[in-house]
Amino acid sequence: MSAVAEGEGKGEGLGTLAVHAGHDPAGHLGAAVPPLYQSATFVAPDTSTLEAINAGSRRGFVYSRIRNPTVLAAEQRLAALEGAESAVAFASGMAAVAGALAPFLTAGDEVVALPDLYGGTRRYLAEVLPRQGVAVRRAADGSAGAVGAALGRATRIILAETPTNPLVRVIDLAALAALARGAGAMLVVDGTLGSPMNQRPLALGADLVIHSVSKYLNGHGDVIGGAVLGSRALTRAVRSHQQAAGGIMEPFAAWLLLRGLATYPLRMARHNASGLAVARFLAAHPRVVRVHYPGLPDHPDHALARRQMQGFGGLVSFEAESAAAARRIVDAFRLFAIGPSIGGIESLCSQPGNTSHHALAEAERLAMGITPALVRLAVGIETTADLVADLARALEAA
């Protein structure tokens, strides 16, 4: 079977794209899986060929900071899964955040940021952009009305994350896309928690999508990386900035990512199923005060999630009876190990106040709804009954 090249084959099933997109065995000595090109430099057979590659009239490789075959294969596979024309892979999720924003902002511009963003993104907005003369306006909440009220004449980008971490709120992307178009701005969406199987922001009007590929897309907890996806017109600017700034994904990380992507749809299906089962169990437990999961009917964004998403993911958070109870629950787990990440094959737990959002002041965390009694679960792909049993033991111990 021939490869699905960048921007092609979008009519094929997600499982097929996850295995084949970006790789043509015929071009790699018949290798069934994409080879690892762990080479910094590529040599040209003659000067004319080198000049043609440099001019862009001939596809080829010169130096891995500019382009590497393994990284390119990973980018093409990511683009196929997301339904994007093009993707640019970065050294980390935060490098991808910077890579999605910096090429489109200059001094005097403004960014409207929704309040529920990853802690690292909030730090970038607070510490880096202001030094470059870019102002950041914060919407009061994630509603279209609040975002519209925050827009200014200098707004160039609306930055959103959906679903959010750790309260798993869902943002109406079609409504924000309409606002962005009306303001002459771009909508940039961190879609890490949704991931392409559950949610496709580009199809809902977003201009660029950011992923921390360390999470669901790679899924094995052994890669740090990020990606920016969108139209070729926009990703061309993203890639140009990346080549100048140097935040590239290295070939071995791309090779591991390709390996992880091959099983992504299978893993995501288990995350979705177990996440929902865990959320339902917690919702029925007398020692759980509240559960945050958009797959539950009483979640404030349930109706929107049903319209906008095809699955609800593996991130579940809940509020225990007290901060002390939350700490005892976390310490009592056997399968849910204490760790700060999400989206891996292994289940993890954390208290956002001392992991993902520990750098924020307590008042800021409370304003976001992150209380000391909040516990976040990253539901992995272990046997669902075993995960529920671990939860039951931990809740009884508390």
- Of these residues, 37, 67, 118, 207, which one is catalytic? 118
How high is the pLDDT of residue 7? 39
Confidence tier at 358 by pLDDT (50, 70, 90): low
Q: Is 190 a catalytic residue?
A: yes
CATH assignment of 65-258, given 3.40.50.300, 1.10.3720.10, 3.30.70.360, 3.40.640.10?
3.40.640.10
| Mean pLDDT (the chain, rounded) | 94
Same fold, 65-258 and 264-397: no
Domain ranges within the chain, ordered by starting residue: 65-258, 264-397
- Write down the residue that tokens 């590529």 correspond to: 42
- Of these residues, 10, 24, 65, 259, which one is catalytic? 65
- Write down the residue that tokens 């009876």 correspond to: 321
How high is the pLDDT of residue 44? 96
Q: Which CATH class is domain 264-397?
A: alpha beta
259-280 confidence digits (pLDDT tens) = 999 999 999 999 999 999 999 9
Confidence tier at 73 by pLDDT (50, 70, 90): very high
Is residue 355 pLDDT above 90, yes or no? no
State the average pLDDT over residues 206-218: 98
Q: Is 280 a catalytic residue?
A: no
Is residue 34 pLDDT above 70, yes or no? yes
Collapsing DSSP states into helix, strand and coil, what is residue 378? strand
Confidence tier at 10 by pLDDT (50, 70, 90): very low
- Of these residues, 77, 169, 215, 267, which one is catalytic? 215
pTM summary value: 0.95
Confidence tier at 5 by pLDDT (50, 70, 90): very low
- Of these residues, 109, 116, 190, 390, which one is catalytic? 190
Is residue 4 pLDDT above 50, yes or no? no
How high is the pLDDT of residue 356? 66
Collapsing DSSP states into helix, strand and coil, what is residue 392? helix
Strand order in the sheet with 155-161: 86-90, 226-230, 208-212, 186-190, 155-161, 110-113, 135-138
How high is the pLDDT of residue 368? 80
Q: CB–CB of 218/256 below 8 Å?
A: yes
Is residue 33 pLDDT above 80, yes or no? yes
Confidence tier at 359 by pLDDT (50, 70, 90): low
Residue 131: exposure state from Cβ atoms within 10 A (0-12, 13-18, ≥19)? exposed
Q: CB–CB of 215/96 below 8 Å?
A: no
CA distance 25 to 33: 7
CA distance 295 to 106: 40
Is residue 20 pLDDT above 50, yes or no? yes
Q: Is 65 a catalytic residue?
A: yes
**DSSP assigned state of 203:** G
